[in-house]
Amino acid sequence: MANKTYKIVTLPGDGIGPEIMAQAKRVLAAIGQAYDVDFVCQDHLIGGAAIDATRAAGEEVTALPQATLDAAKAADAVLLAAVGGPKWDDPTSPVRPEQGLLGIRKQLGLYLNLRPVRVYQALIGASTLKPEVLNGSDLLIVRELTGGLYFGRHDREHNVAGAAYGGGTGQKAVDSMEYSEYEVERVVRWAYDAAMRRKRHVISVDKANVLETSRLWREVTHRIAAEYPDVKSEDMLVDNTAMQLVANPRQFDVLVTENTFGDILSDEASMLTGSLGMLASASLGDGTALYEPSHGSAPDIAGRGIANPLAQILSVELMLRYSFQMDEAANALAAAVEGVLDDGWRTVDIADASTPQDRILGTEAMGTKVIDALA
């Protein structure tokens, strides 16, 4: 009998999801053995896989079955891989894989998304940016996750007339962006607390020169900033931030922002690590937390055994840290990944022209390397 048991709901989803999830489970098993913890993983359906399964069973077609949600709520943590793919891409379809992801975030109350961006020395050549720009960059993106545009009113009207329709009639689409003070406050406060454990610098990103939601965001942020005199606080407009992230990424420590801006900026920031295949994320709220790579389901390479499992494995690292307070194991896993990279092992997405062919590994072999480095 292990000392402790944790129930983890695993959601492999679509595309490369099942392949990278398999490696994360192997890593969990190895860590469980080393630290005398039993991680009991139970697979559930989400995304396109759930759409197909519910349709085949003649049930109500959904990307987020009730059984998945119930299991997630009852679990100690949720580990998700990725959802989506061309098979379910019809934009007019009423059920889409992404609804599974947005739905589970909302239903679990995961209002905060952390995306730590670390520059691995060994991967500096894999980035499109110059090493002298990247060196020493280490930032934490804190993204609001259940408010704003993605959860606002989405609407379409037909046969609308007016000046914007060129004299005739046409369709109109609306997505509304709303934020309450409370929604801003809980995220920004978390960012300041995180900054206290880091380099004590918060950059809050908004578009306060145009958007009312941003002006509220800025007001709340300034109020909270006043409670943290030891933290250096800055506001930065989102367009400028997009430029600064590639011009001078070292200036960032904690970057906090609303949902849409965080979605876009975190994909941009992933290139500082060399590949979106390296970026893990943790989604936290008041209940069960969820961990997932920041990348998508990469349908173009699915099933070929070449996907990079490291963002999924680094999501396990965040799970150990935030859900199980297993910091020692988390540090060991982070060091194992770094060691594998330092030894020159690569998946194809993080290889460059100088990588010898025999150092390029498939998904499973990369998982094995990490497990061996843990031992």
**DSSP conformation class of 174:** E
Q: Which residues bind Mg ion (CB under 5 A)?
A: 263
| Residue placing its CB nearer to ligand IPM in the complex, 124 or 282 | 282
Q: Which residue has the tokens 């992801």?
A: 101
Please state, in angstroms and rounded to a whole number, the distance separating the CA atoms of residues 19 and 81. Answer: 9
Shortest Cβ 263–ligand IPM spacing (Å)? 4
| Residue placing its CB nearer to ligand IPM in the complex, 102 or 242 | 102
Shortest Cβ 194–ligand IPM spacing (Å)? 19
Considering only 96-104, 242-250, 339-347, 367-375, which stretch makes contact with ligand IPM by CB under 6 A? 96-104
Of ligand IPM, Mg ion, none, which one sits near residue 98, judging by CB under 5 to 8 A according to partner kind?
ligand IPM
Which one of residues 52, 76, 98, 138 is an interface residue with ligand IPM (CB under 6 A)?
98
Tell how far CA 306 is from the center of its chain. 21
Of Mg ion, ligand IPM, none, which one sits near residue 102, judging by CB under 5 to 8 A according to partner kind?
ligand IPM
Among 207, 291, 322, 369, the one annotated catalytic: 207
Distance (Å) of CA 25 to CA 111, 144, 173: 26, 28, 42
Q: Residue 243 — φ and ψ, nearest 5°?
A: -75, -45
Q: Applying CB under 6 A, does 45 fall inside the site for ligand IPM?
A: no
DSSP for 355-375, please give it: S-GGGB--HHHHHHHHHHHH-
Can 207 be counted among the known catalytic residues?
yes
Considering only 94-102, 119-127, 181-189, 203-211, which stretch makes contact with ligand IPM by CB under 6 A? 94-102
Which one of residues 79, 95, 101, 319 is an interface residue with ligand IPM (CB under 6 A)?
101
DSSP for 289-319, please give it: -EEEESS---GGGTTSS----HHHHHHHHHH
Which one of residues 19, 183, 206, 263 is an interface residue with ligand IPM (CB under 6 A)?
263
Nearest to 9 by CA among 70, 65, 96: 70
Four-residue CA torsion sign, 241, 247, 249, 253: negative
Using left for φ > 0, alpha for ψ between -120 and 50, and beta otherwise, residue 184 falls in: alpha
Among 263, 291, 349, 369, the one annotated catalytic: 263
Please state, in angstroms and rounded to a whole number, the distance separating the CA atoms of residues 87 and 82. Answer: 14
Total residues at interface with ligand IPM (CB under 6 A): 5
Q: Is 346 helix (H, G, I), strand (E, B) or coil?
A: strand
Can 239 be counted among the known catalytic residues?
yes
Can 253 be counted among the known catalytic residues?
no
Among 6, 111, 120, 150, the one annotated catalytic: 150
Largest Cα span, the chain: 75
Q: Is 172 helix (H, G, I), strand (E, B) or coil?
A: strand
Can 342 be counted among the known catalytic residues?
no
Token pair of 197 as six digits: 């454990």
Shortest Cβ 98–ligand IPM spacing (Å)? 4
Which one of residues 22, 29, 61, 102 is an interface residue with ligand IPM (CB under 6 A)?
102
Q: Which residues pair with 280 in a beta bridge?
A: 293
CB atoms within 10 A of CB 120: 18
| Residue placing its CB nearer to ligand IPM in the complex, 214 or 266 | 266
| Residue placing its CB nearer to ligand IPM in the complex, 183 or 263 | 263
Which x/- pattern, by CB under 6 A, does the window 271-310 give for ligand IPM?
Answer: -----------------------x----------------
Angle between helix 327-342 and helix 17-35 axes, rounded to 10 deg: 120
Binding footprint of ligand IPM on the chain (CB under 6 A)? 98, 101-102, 263, 294
Please identify every residue annotated as catalytic. 150, 207, 239, 263, 267
